[in-house]
Chains A and B, each alone.
Chain A
Amino acid sequence: GNSVTQMEGPVTLSEEAFLTINCTYTATGYPSLFWYVQYPGEGLQLLLKATKADDKGSNKGFEATYRKETTSFHLEKGSVQVSDSAVYFCAPVYGAGGTSYGKLTFGQGTILTVHP
């Protein structure tokens, strides 16, 4: 079935370090790709998205590029802050038309901790 694999965590970085969290998905159809973030004690929030190949999603200094050839959507940030400490989820939306289009398939999540 459809699935997504995220980089295992936890990831611990110092402030201003470069961040990469890897995400690969199974290539069934042409999914839209999302990164969601869950801050401590809060609900899931959309971080960024990309809906077709070579699209780059960006928000709050985070970026991810839809790579169809490698079925990847890696999350990057050039300089992390303590406030970026959270759990990050990669989530494709599978389905091509029809009534099943739209449900998110989440990765296991990557815990990021940023120290001052």
Chain B
Amino acid sequence: DTGVSQDPRHKITKRGQNVTFRCDPISEHNRLYWYRQTLGQGPEFLTYFQNEAQLEKSRLLSDRFSAERPKGSFSTLEIQRTEQGDSAMYLCASSQMAGGITDTQYFGPGTRLTVL
């Protein structure tokens, strides 16, 4: 088990460009979460999946953001028409939900996005 991985680790883009991040969860985990962390703050929840179903989206997630988990394994988070305010660390976490009891979330190293 190699843990949660994220790619890329760093992304610098110009305002208005689209970016896509990938997250590979721990293989047996059925839940996958996306969070965003800005400097000096705690992570904020964005969205999560159980298997391939996206079950909840935060109000923080504008229409420019979209996430998928097509086969219930890896997930992608796309930001369209990036803005400087999107600059942050994007964190992915996974966990195993069984019998209505969620287990610990394990985090990846994050993707740091800088929008110029």
Contacts and interface: CB of A to CB of B under 8 A. Distances in A.
Instruction: Give the most central of B33, B42, B104, B108: most A CB within 10 Å.
Output: B42
Interface stretch (B19-27, B63-71, B95-103): B95-103
Contact of B56 (A36, A44, A103): A103
Given A43-B108, A45-B107, A102 B102 contact: yes
A70 interface: no
Nearest to B44: A106
A53 to B, nearest CB: 16
Interface string B88-116: 00010101010010101111111000000
Contact of A99 (B33, B41, B55, B91): B55
Contacts of A43: 91, 107-110
Interface string A21-52: 00000000000101010000011111001000
Given A34-B104, A44-B107, A46-B104, A100 B42 contact: no
B108 A102 contact: no
B56 A46 contact: no
Interface in A66-116: 89, 91, 93, 97, 99-109
B50 interface: yes
Contacts of A89: 42-43
Nearest to A44: B107
A99 B108 contact: no
27 contacts: A32-B102, A34-B104, A36-B107, A43-B91, A43-B109, A43-B110, A44-B43, A44-B91, A45-B107, A46-B106, A89-B42, A89-B43, A99-B56, A100-B56, A101-B97, A101-B102, A102-B31, A102-B33, A102-B95, A102-B97, A103-B48, A104-B35, A104-B45, A106-B35, A106-B43, A106-B44, A108-B41
Given A89-B43, A91-B42, A101-B100, 8 more contacts: A34-B104, A46-B104, A46-B106, A100-B56, A102-B48, A104-B43, A106-B42, A106-B44
Interface of A: 32, 34, 36, 42-46, 49, 89, 91, 93, 97, 99-109
